[in-house]
Each structure stands twice: as C-alpha cells, then as structure tokens.
Structure 1
Amino acid sequence: MDQEHLDKLEQLEHDFDHALPEEVTRDVAYYRTILSNIIMIGGAPNEDWILIDTGLRRYKERILHACEERYGNKPPTAIILTHGHFDHTGSAKKLAEHWNVPIYIHEKEMDYVTGKKAYPPGDPTVGGGLVSLLSTLFPTKPEHLEGVVTALPDDGTLPHLKEWRYIETPGHTPGHISLFRESDRFLIAGGDAISTEKPESTWAMFFPIQHVYGPPAYFTQDWMAADKSVKTLAELEPDFVIAGHGLPMQGGFMKEELKKLADGFIDNAIPKHKRQ
C-alpha cells in the first residue's frame, strides 16, 4: 500500500474514539484496528499476557494505548504472529523493541519476515469489494524482522501459553497458524484462516454483518490447503471464535456458519474468477 493510502487509513482511524480493548472472556481481549484485529491473551491487570498480531505500520502508539488500558505498564511476555502479511506484522518490530520482548512465528513464515521472500501480489480479480481492487497496492515485501523473530516450536506448543496450542492452518500463507484452547473451546482463527466480516469489502469494515467467511481472497495462495484448514477448524467445534478480520462470534449461529463454510468451501469461498 503506498504512502497516500496509508495516510488515508490512518486519518480514518483517528476519526474513531481512542484505541480501547474489548473483552471477549476474562482473559481474552482484542483491539479492532481499521484493517485487522490485534488480540491480547491474559487476564487484566496483573497476569502475564501475550500479544497476537500487530496491525499495520504506524500503529505502534495506538496499540500501546489499547494494551496499556488493559495491562497498565506491564509489557507482554512475547508477541506471536499468525502469519507475515503487512496488516498483521506492521508494528511488530517497533513494539518488540519498545517492550524488549521476543517475536514468534511459524518456521514456514520465517523467510517472509526476514528479507528472503516476498508474498505474491494481491489479486484484484477476485471481486467482492474495494479492498480487492486496492490489493495490488498492498505491501508484499518482507518486514525484515531478522534478529528479533524466532520460529515457534514444531510440536504445536506456544511459548508462555501452556493452555493453548497452535494449529497449522496453511492456505492463506504457507505457515499460517490458528490458536486453540481446549478448556473453553476458544479459537483464535489465525489472522486470516477465516473471517467474520467480508474481508474484501470496505463497507464491512464500518458496518460489519456477522457471518463466517473464508480467508481474504485477494491474498490467499493455496485454495485447496485453505479448504483443508477450514475443515480442521470446524472439526474443533469451537464455542468462541475471533478472527483477524471482524467481530468475535460464539454460540449456535457461529457453529452453523463455520460448518456451512467448511462443507461448501470449494463452491462458496473460492472465487469464481481469480488469477491463475
């Protein structure tokens, strides 16, 4: 995304109230930025906590404000990134340096955040709204987190999160992960394994209508892998879901929507027109 569009997005964000966290359960909260969610795991105000994803670049101060509203001056013990796309990693380095904490990401995403690989460009042919049309402007180059990022363990465990495990949910990107806690069946559906708003549409950013959608089509690399990942998430039968885009969902309607997406993914989620 070029500087002009970043400036416009930042101005839109400043039109809202101050950045504030919204609690989903006692120890899970989120802050909804203009493009994506950042998620905080840990009870306020005294427990250790973890930050999941870091939004766009230039959002450091707003993210700090939201986190400090919940945890005061207590820094997280780590930052975990669900994947390396610009709207989930943009403020990672500055936040990690501010707090002096490590960043973790799946091994298969490491090349994309350490200067070795770039993601494919956005595909404006997938349709669905203005975000798809603008996707060719979105950054695909690495965030250059070398020296501050570490690969997650390969056994599904998460540093500092004993009750949680990560699940590989590739498709949107090769090393995309989701997080799951068995005790209350809470699913953090990665940054983009699924969405609870239509991710291709700018209208949905401001007027979200809750449904369970597939991953953002303009950036999804492997649709067959994405199909398998959604089926894996549906098989977990979560009671709570929060995705990287959209509002949290829970209960029977969410479960029906997730099952419907998993059962009909190929027919309903994969764009009829896309770059081959």
Structure 2
Amino acid sequence: MLKIDRLELGPVQTNCYIVSGEDQHCIIFDPGEEAGKIQAVIKRKQLKPLAILLTHAHFDHIGAVDELRELYKIPVYLHHKERDFLGTPKLNGSAKYAAVPDYRVAPADRLITDEQTLVIGPITMDIFHTPGHSPGSVSFYFPEDRFAIVGDTLFSGSIGRTDLAEGSESVLLQSISSSLLTLPGETFLFPGHGPETTPKQESQYNPFLRP
C-alpha cells in the first residue's frame, strides 16, 4: 500500500505530495516552494526519491523543482504542452503578480505525450490529460490505492481558475466530467490547494458541476 504525505508550501499554500511505496522509494508531486521542508520529510522518513512529477507548470507548483532535482539527481516529468512554461514567466503565471518574482525553471527531463500507465520503480499510476486550468494539466490516478492527484483541475467545492495562459472553462469542465467524476465515487482526489475530496462529493455538492 502506498503512503501519502502532504505539505502545504509557499505563499499560496500549494499542496506538495510525497507518495512512497516499497523499500521507501518515493515520488515528489508539485514541489511548489520551501525545498527544505520537503527534504526534512524525506530525511525523517528515510525515503529515496525517484522522480518529480508535475500536474502542471504554474509558478506555485514549481518553485522547488530545480533544487530538489539537483539534490537527488532525479528526473522531472511534465506534459509536453507545457514544455515552455517552466522557463517563461508569462506562461507560468509569475509575471502576472508584482509581488512574485519571475520563475524560471530548467526544462523537464521527461515529457508526457499520451495518456498512459507510468511505472517508476515500485510505483504504478495512470496518467489522465485533464486540460482547462492549463493546457498540459494532468491527473495521476492510483487505482489499487483508490486515490488521484489532480492538481488545480478540481477542488473541494470548486474548480480550477481559467484566466491564466491558455485556460478554458469549457475544456476544464469537460476534463472533470470525463476523467475525474467517472472514477469510483469514493476515490480520494488530492488537489493542488485545500483538502481532499471525492467524485461522489463533488458530483452532489460542487456548485460549478451541478446542472
């Protein structure tokens, strides 16, 4: 059974997830800021990082990428439609805010091009392309453990914003409907901000998804 650690990091409290499996191997999802806090959890639990996976490349999800990649010598995975976002402040959203420095991160090491089953060490997951919040947003689904990491596609009681580069509300709603709400109702959905939820809960109570 996989284990999940959640850290709320950076100025907008972005959720970073550390998913660990057999032999303490782990994957880091969306290390948005505060690399030291991520390192502390990894050290305390004696974990062995294998990769960094990004649900998308907005600035609040990528701030600690380069530091962790260099420290652990691990690859970074990102959807190919956002290959230019990491190094471009206008695309990753950091240029939009005067109080936020321009974020420029080195290119991803591995580009996701298709929906697929991805195996990294002992950890297996399905990748769903869930655009709308951004063009290359993806969700990572772990069917055996009944959870998914969904980035800023869907939140508890809300949905992702669509006013940043290449966002689309109609595309976002279609992604949620076809990829997330079709999962088993009690699947835990871990979003980029805020608490976890389930497809059943969002289908019934999310005001953005009700007819």
TM-score, with length taken from structure 2: 0.82
SS in 1 for 2:155: coil
Deviation at 1:265, TM superposition (A): 3.2
Deviation per CA, 1:98-142, whole angstroms, max 9, x where unpaired? Answer: 111111101111111144x732858xxxxxxxxxxxx74475956
Match of 2:7 in 1: 31
Aligned residues: 204
Match of 1:18 in 2: none
Q: 1:109 to 1:159 in 2, by over 3 A?
A: farther
- Structure 1: which 4+ aligned runs deviate by more than 6 Å? none
Match of 1:19 in 2: none
Please give the alpha-carbon distance, in whole angstroms, between the structure 2 residues aligned to 1:156 and 1:67.
28
Q: 1:94 to 1:121 in 2, by over 3 A?
A: closer
Match of 2:56 in 1: 83
1:55 aligns with 2:32: yes
Structure 2 unaligned residues grouped into runs of 5+: none
1:195 aligns with 2:140: no
SS in 1 for 2:90: coil
1:222 aligns with 2:168: yes
Q: 1:179 aligns with which of 140, 148, 156?
A: 140
Verify the 8 A CA contact 2:182 2:199 in the aligned structure 1: no
Q: Percent identity?
A: 24
1:119 aligns with 2:67: no
Match of 1:240 in 2: 188
Q: 2:209 aligns with which of 257, 265, 269?
A: 265
Q: 1:41 aligns with which of 19, 23, 28?
A: 19
Q: 1:142 to 1:222 in 2, by over 3 A?
A: farther
SS in 2 for 1:95: helix
Please give the alpha-carbon distance, in whole angstroms, between the structure 2 residues aligned to 1:110 and 1:40.
23
TM-score, with length taken from structure 1: 0.64
Verify the 8 A CA contact 1:53 1:80 in the aligned structure 2: yes
Please give the alpha-carbon distance, in whole angstroms, between the structure 1 residues aligned to 2:90 and 2:101.
5
Verify the 8 A CA contact 1:186 1:240 in the aligned structure 2: yes
Q: CA RMSD in A?
A: 2.9
**Which structure: greater helix fraction?**
1
1:101 aligns with 2:101: no
Please give the alpha-carbon distance, in whole angstroms, between the structure 2 residues aligned to 1:218 and 1:67.
35
Match of 1:149 in 2: 109
